[in-house]
Amino acid sequence: MTNEGAQEKKPYSGPLEMVTRFRDLPEAFVAKSILDSAGVDCFLADENTIRMDWLWSNLLGGFKLMVRPEDLEEAKKLLEPSAGSEAQAEEPIENSENETGDASE
Protein backbone atom coordinates (compact mmCIF):
# COMPACT_ATOMS: atom_id res chain seq x y z
CA MET A 1 0.00 0.00 0.00
CA THR A 2 1.21 3.47 -0.84
CA ASN A 3 0.01 6.84 0.32
CA GLU A 4 0.03 9.17 -2.65
CA GLY A 5 -0.71 12.20 -0.44
CA ALA A 6 1.95 11.41 2.17
CA GLN A 7 5.06 13.53 2.26
CA GLU A 8 8.27 11.90 1.15
CA LYS A 9 10.67 11.39 4.07
CA LYS A 10 14.15 12.75 3.59
CA PRO A 11 17.01 10.32 4.25
CA TYR A 12 19.22 10.72 7.30
CA SER A 13 22.03 13.10 6.40
CA GLY A 14 24.23 13.30 9.47
CA PRO A 15 24.45 15.55 12.52
CA LEU A 16 22.41 18.73 12.45
CA GLU A 17 24.03 22.12 11.92
CA MET A 18 23.32 25.27 13.92
CA VAL A 19 22.25 28.21 11.74
CA THR A 20 22.16 30.82 14.50
CA ARG A 21 21.37 31.42 18.18
CA PHE A 22 18.69 33.57 19.77
CA ARG A 23 18.43 34.94 23.27
CA ASP A 24 14.69 35.61 23.05
CA LEU A 25 11.95 33.24 21.95
CA PRO A 26 9.96 35.63 19.69
CA GLU A 27 12.99 36.25 17.43
CA ALA A 28 13.63 32.50 17.30
CA PHE A 29 10.02 31.78 16.30
CA VAL A 30 10.15 34.35 13.49
CA ALA A 31 13.33 32.80 12.06
CA LYS A 32 11.91 29.29 12.40
CA SER A 33 8.71 30.33 10.62
CA ILE A 34 10.74 31.80 7.72
CA LEU A 35 12.54 28.49 7.25
CA ASP A 36 9.34 26.46 7.70
CA SER A 37 7.55 28.50 5.03
CA ALA A 38 10.48 27.92 2.64
CA GLY A 39 10.23 24.15 3.18
CA VAL A 40 13.46 23.83 5.19
CA ASP A 41 13.23 21.25 8.00
CA CYS A 42 14.33 22.90 11.24
CA PHE A 43 13.78 22.99 14.99
CA LEU A 44 14.80 25.04 18.02
CA ALA A 45 17.24 23.17 20.26
CA ASP A 46 16.92 23.75 24.02
CA GLU A 47 13.51 25.36 23.52
CA ASN A 48 11.71 23.31 26.20
CA THR A 49 14.50 23.62 28.76
CA ILE A 50 14.71 27.39 28.45
CA ARG A 51 10.92 27.73 28.51
CA MET A 52 10.87 25.91 31.86
CA ASP A 53 13.53 28.16 33.38
CA TRP A 54 14.44 31.25 31.36
CA LEU A 55 17.55 31.91 33.47
CA TRP A 56 19.17 28.90 31.82
CA SER A 57 19.19 30.71 28.47
CA ASN A 58 22.64 32.23 28.97
CA LEU A 59 24.00 28.98 30.37
CA LEU A 60 22.85 26.94 27.38
CA GLY A 61 23.68 29.56 24.78
CA GLY A 62 20.10 30.51 23.99
CA PHE A 63 17.74 28.95 21.48
CA LYS A 64 19.66 27.26 18.67
CA LEU A 65 18.06 27.03 15.24
CA MET A 66 19.12 23.67 13.79
CA VAL A 67 18.89 22.40 10.19
CA ARG A 68 20.16 19.48 8.10
CA PRO A 69 23.73 19.94 6.77
CA GLU A 70 22.52 20.14 3.16
CA ASP A 71 20.08 22.94 4.08
CA LEU A 72 22.58 25.11 5.98
CA GLU A 73 23.55 27.48 3.15
CA GLU A 74 19.93 27.97 2.04
CA ALA A 75 18.88 28.67 5.64
CA LYS A 76 21.62 31.29 6.08
CA LYS A 77 20.57 33.02 2.85
CA LEU A 78 16.92 33.06 3.90
CA LEU A 79 17.73 34.57 7.30
CA GLU A 80 20.23 37.23 6.25
CA PRO A 81 18.78 40.74 6.12
CA SER A 82 17.90 41.89 2.62
CA ALA A 83 19.81 44.78 1.06
CA GLY A 84 16.59 46.77 0.60
CA SER A 85 15.71 46.83 4.28
CA GLU A 86 19.26 47.90 5.21
CA ALA A 87 19.12 50.80 2.75
CA GLN A 88 15.85 52.00 4.23
CA ALA A 89 17.23 51.83 7.76
CA GLU A 90 20.28 53.93 6.81
CA GLU A 91 18.34 56.78 5.12
CA PRO A 92 18.68 60.02 7.07
CA ILE A 93 15.54 61.53 8.52
CA GLU A 94 14.69 64.76 6.72
CA ASN A 95 14.51 68.00 8.68
CA SER A 96 10.89 68.95 9.34
CA GLU A 97 11.52 72.71 9.53
CA ASN A 98 9.65 74.94 7.14
CA GLU A 99 11.65 76.25 4.21
CA THR A 100 10.56 79.77 5.07
CA GLY A 101 12.66 79.72 8.20
CA ASP A 102 9.84 80.09 10.73
CA ALA A 103 12.14 78.89 13.50
CA SER A 104 14.55 81.83 13.04
CA GLU A 105 11.93 84.58 13.17
User: How many domains in the chain?
Assistant: 1
The structure's pTM equals 0.65
Strand, coil or helix: 38: coil
Helix axes 25-37, 72-79, angle to 10 degrees: 120
Residue 88 lies in a domain: no
Flag whether 99 is in a domain.
no
- Of 14-18, 29-33, 95-99, the range with the highest mean pLDDT is 29-33
d(CA 22, CA 50): 11
Domain that holds residue 70: 14-77
pLDDT band at 94 (very low <50, low <70, confident <90, very high): low
Strands (DSSP E) found in 1-105: 17-22, 42-45, 63-67
Residue 83 belongs to a domain: no
pLDDT for 24-38, tens place per residue?
899 999 999 999 999
Q: Would residue 21 count as lying in a domain?
A: yes
